[in-house]
Amino acid sequence: MEKCIYNSIITDVGRLVRRFGTRDPLIIAEALGIDLEFRQLGNIKGMYANVLNNPFIFLNERLDDVGAKIVCAHELGHHRMQGKSVRMAQTFSDMDFVGLNNDRFEYEANLFCAELTIPDDEIEDCIYRGYTSYECARALYTDPALVALKLELLRHKGNTELNRVDYNRDFLK
């Protein structure tokens, strides 16, 4: 992955958090004027669409609060990274999470999600306490795959004490 994409995501998320005073993707999306819709979507967890320059994020109404925030952060990543270039709706299904299909846009959206939803200080605290990636995920109410991506971002920021964590790309199958 190009270093400039890491820089772009880190910078953009930092600006959003400072501007809106929160890491909550639902609040940020609404503040940005994105129409959030909770709908029956079958096995699709979420979807981003830009229709006539009007951005929409559709979230499956069956998601719990944590799941809705993770999926919304991922879809917000599509909005911020691809924005108006998204011509068709992009869906987020069980099979797509955390770059399972190795698609660049999905990977970028997942990096954005990890950077937005996992604060540096909280994950560093877990790591320095000796937690495994699964224990970090439990403590931070997130997924181990997002922890792995956040560690990748922290290494890019210069934290060289962290080891690379591999994750199971099939974890939602």
- The whole-angstrom separation of Cα 58 and Cα 149 is 24
The mean pLDDT of 53-76, rounded to a whole number, is 94
pLDDT tens digits for range 148-165 = 999 989 988 887 666 555
Instruction: State the pLDDT at residue 17.
Output: 98
The mean pLDDT of 80-99, rounded to a whole number, is 55
Residue 117 makes CB contacts below 8 A (sequence gap 6+) with 23, 25, 69, 70, 73, 142, 146
Q: How far is CA 76 from CA 13, 131, 166, in A?
A: 10, 29, 25
pLDDT at 87 over 70: no
- The whole-angstrom separation of Cα 14 and Cα 18 is 6
Percentage of the chain modeled with pLDDT above 90: 60
Angle ∠(63,67,70) on CA atoms, nearest 5: 140
The mean pLDDT of 108-124, rounded to a whole number, is 95
User: Tokens standing for 21?
Assistant: 């005073």
Beta pairing partners, 36: 57
pLDDT at 27 over 50: yes
Amino acid at 147: V
Average pLDDT, the chain: 84
The mean pLDDT of 43-53, rounded to a whole number, is 88
Instruction: State the pLDDT at residue 86.
Output: 55
Residue 43 makes CB contacts below 8 A (sequence gap 6+) with 93, 94
Secondary structure E strands in 40-150: 44-51, 54-60, 90-93
Axis crossing angle, helix 65-81 with helix 3-20, rounded to the nearest 10: 120
Instruction: State the pLDDT at residue 128.
Output: 87
CB 76 within 8 A of CB 25: yes
Instruction: State the pLDDT at residue 106.
Output: 86
User: Tokens standing for 84?
Assistant: 């108006």
pLDDT at 9 over 60: yes
User: Tokens standing for 56?
Assistant: 């929409």
The whole model's pTM is what?
A: 0.84
User: Tokens standing for 113?
Assistant: 């999600």
pLDDT at 169 over 50: no
SS3 72: helix
The mean pLDDT of 87-116, rounded to a whole number, is 67
